A and B are shown apart, each in its own frame.
Chain A
């Protein structure tokens, strides 16, 4: 029986096998990168809000503490969106006639809440509670970035599960003293590794197994 394939066909088979591996690998890598891209995670996407509210001005320039508006961050699951009255504490006098404030004044006048665009939206199957994170030494800027530099707030991190786990596996790399939770300029390098390990003990942070167990976040 005559040879069906030319002798060089062996090389073609080897090359195509290699190509399958290379192409497959590239495709998989591309998939992982696309899944993490801001196109899919909405990271760095600045949202247009109904009011031109600037965190950079109120936090950065005026030095107003996060908790002045986000009052329930230490006691509840949600950090709290301030009622319009909180805006009016200052803006009943300051810039009271500015057209930029009209949506706020209308909200106050008509007793209708302002419809803010949600920036950080976790999927419904993920349980998250602000108060426990704040109580265990996770600062605002660790997750939210330097809000005091954001004229309009964007999502600083992917909010993907691997990002949550990066801290739940090694919390000692990210925690800080209680007094620095609301400090926007805090750097993780401000404490040595030993000091952060001590904090982890002081805060009684649970074991890696418990922090990464499924039902910790999926309840």
Chain B
């Protein structure tokens, strides 16, 4: 067939073929541009992206109420709530009234008195670091309630360095960090449980630092035990906590 065609006709039929090839190349290139953007913005959810699928518009969904993740049963009540096991919630709470008419709770019968985590140098250091992230903004570097946010006009929190809070059990501080107190919001969404206890341990250290009287602080919670390890002799380290524990 082709042989019978005049030369000019063959030329004619070739040209559209070449044009087609070029057009196909350009189209492919155009598609490849499209591919790049599909890969760039893939149809999957990243953190904090919005979603049209869920009613609340959020891609990140909360687990249904009452869900317990594996290993998250939180059986240890003291660790996760700072409250004692089997204590009457309606136990009488002593309270007094200050000059301004505010009620001051003086006893905390439901709160645990011992740290549920072993008190180590690492725990205290972690506590100091976390304190400087979350607490220092209001409570100030040593807990006198003179943080930057207070200087900007936030109502001043009470100092850690009065008898009421020196004698308050550690569980009380944990409870306040978790659920808030007065004008302070709870920090449970910002600070994990272990870090909350680390902060509580550090607050005890701050209290001891501003009131260096071994009889007024709980024995195991003072930073003194750790400090003597470095400068004092080993014997005093071993005897001191026991002596303090006896005093308490």
List residues of chain A with CB under 8 Å of any chain B CB: 62-65, 67-68, 71, 77-78, 81, 83, 85-86, 88-90, 92-94, 112-113, 115, 123-125
Q: Determine if B154 and A94 form an interchain contact, defined as CB atoms under 8 angstroms apart.
A: yes
Please indicate the chain A residues that have their CB under 8 angstroms from the CB of B152 in the complex.
62, 94
Given A64, A81, A93, A123, which contacts B153 in the complex, CB threshold below 8 Å?
Answer: A93
Interface string of B173-191 (1 = CB under 8 A from A): 0000000000111010111
Please indicate the chain B residues that have their CB under 8 angstroms from the CB of A63 in the complex.
137, 148
Please indicate the chain A residues that have their CB under 8 angstroms from the CB of B183 in the complex.
92-93
Q: Determine if B149 and A90 form an interchain contact, defined as CB atoms under 8 angstroms apart.
A: yes
- Write 29 A-B pairs (CB below 8 A) sorted by A numbering: A62-B148, A62-B152, A63-B137, A64-B137, A65-B132, A65-B134, A68-B137, A68-B190, A71-B191, A78-B48, A81-B48, A83-B189, A85-B189, A86-B189, A86-B190, A90-B149, A92-B183, A93-B153, A93-B154, A93-B155, A93-B183, A94-B153, A94-B154, A112-B56, A112-B57, A115-B50, A123-B39, A124-B39, A125-B42
Cα A69 to Cα B185 in complex, Å, equals: 14
Closest to B152 in A: A94
Q: Determine if B134 and A68 form an interchain contact, defined as CB atoms under 8 angstroms apart.
A: yes
Given A123-B39, A124-B40: A92 and B48 within 8 A (CB)?
A: no
List residues of chain B with CB under 8 Å of any chain A CB: 39-42, 44, 46-48, 50, 56-58, 132-134, 137, 148-149, 152-155, 183-185, 187, 189-191
Please indicate the chain B residues that have their CB under 8 angstroms from the CB of A67 in the complex.
133
Smallest distance from the beta carbon of B178 to chain A beta carbons, Å? 14
Cα A68 to Cα B149 in complex, Å, equals: 13
Please indicate the chain B residues that have their CB under 8 angstroms from the CB of A115 in the complex.
50
What 11 new A-B contacts, CB under 8 Å, besides A71-B190, A124-B40? Answer: A64-B148, A65-B134, A68-B133, A68-B134, A86-B189, A86-B190, A90-B137, A93-B153, A123-B40, A124-B39, A125-B42
Q: Determine if A125 and B39 form an interchain contact, defined as CB atoms under 8 angstroms apart.
A: yes
Q: Determine if A124 and B189 form an interchain contact, defined as CB atoms under 8 angstroms apart.
A: no
Closest to A75 in B: B192
Cα A186 to Cα B228 in complex, Å, equals: 34
Given A124-B44, A125-B40: A92 and B185 within 8 A (CB)?
A: yes
Q: Determine if B47 and A77 form an interchain contact, defined as CB atoms under 8 angstroms apart.
A: yes
Cα A85 to Cα B39 in complex, Å, equals: 35
